[in-house]
Amino acid sequence: MLAVGRGTRHDRQVFPAPEETRQDRRSRRADRDGDDTRRTRRGVEPEPEAEDDEFEDDDFEPAIAPVRRLLSLFIAGFSGLLAVGLIFGAQTAGVGSARIPYAVVIFGVQVLFVLAWTMAMRPAGAKVVGAVGLLTALVADFAAVSPASAGLGPLALAAVAGFVAGFVGQMITGAARLRVTETLGNTLLIVIGVVSFATLVVLTRIPEGTQAIVICLSAAGVALLVARLMDTIAPVPRIAAQVPRGSLGVVVGAMAGTLVAAIWGSYLFSFSPKSAAFIGLAAAGAAVLADLAVGFAEVGRELAGDAPTMWIARHMQGPLGGFALAAPVAYAVSVIFLT
């Protein structure tokens, strides 16, 4: 009996488990591992929910920015007053020192341009950019009035000197060195803008250049005025949801500026209605597109998380940029068509 008992115990220790038992153990182990894997997947990889979220993001529509009609009316009035000041100031410019009063008017506009654009763009080293812009404006106005012969050479030198001085001044500050590309762009815009206004002083020294100022700045002023007035009446269709401007105003403004230029061409002996219309279209189109681009740039800064600055500086930026772009057009017209 003892031998049998010991043999039985010996058989249990030596012989492996039956095949059914081993398969049952393997199946239970596989089920347990499968349950753990499924629980991990449910907790970490919610693939169907992620796909639903992607479809919801694709269907999302950004909020439409409201059009502030009183603000558009204010900008329209500012554009009209700026055009009147620049045009009538050119009519009072005389010979020699008699051009200084118009240079003072231009410098006042340049100061507004520097302040508005510096505050709106918020560049690194804003004080340096503003100071360099004002100094460049003074040098450019002096270079437009003092030389014996009128030309863009002295203005080009003033622009290069201002850009180099602004770049070096900003590189001295630590914040500007971290944003080199943005620093270069902001400095270049400010310097070119103030030098562009100085070309109007040079135009008063060219025979019949004052007539080019009348046509181009009248077209630009009327285009900006009508475009903003249309935004107070019918800001449709919207160019972008975040930009409170309507494409109807941009188109109608450019057409109105072209019409005013054609009317001036029928009275000014140096131009014909046809040539004045083409010139006015170029100036009006440049002005309204510059104004529109400023709006897009401001929205881009807001979406990037930049804090908004003084509202009057942001909204004066567009008309000032439009006239700064229309001034070189007037000079090019004088050089191409009148000389």
- Report the SS3 class of residue 239: strand
Beta bridge partners of 243: 240
The whole-angstrom separation of Cα 124 and Cα 171 is 10
- In the chain, the percentage of residues whose pLDDT exceeds 90 is 40
Buried/exposed 208-226: b ≥16 CB within 10 Å, e otherwise = ebbbbbbbbbbbbbbbbbb
Residues 220-246: tens digit of each pLDDT: 999 999 999 998 888 888 888 888 888
Classify residue 18 by its DSSP letter: P
Q: What is the mean pLDDT of residues 131-159?
A: 90
The pLDDT tens digits of the residues spanning 76-97 come to: 999 999 999 999 998 887 776 7
Cβ–Cβ < 8 Å for 306, 122 = yes
What's the maximum distance between 2 C-alpha atoms anywhere in the chain? 140
**Interatomic CA distance for residues 182 and 295, integer angstroms:** 18
Give the pLDDT confidence of 169-196 residue by residue, as tens digits. Answer: 877 776 556 667 777 888 899 999 999 9
Q: What whole-number distance in Å separates Cα of residue 219 and Cα of residue 208? A: 17
d(CA 151, CA 308): 40
- My answer on whether omega of the bond before 328 falls inside 30° of 0, hence cis, is no
What average pLDDT does the segment 214-223 reach? 95
Asked whether the beta carbons of 198 and 138 are under 8 A apart, the reply is no
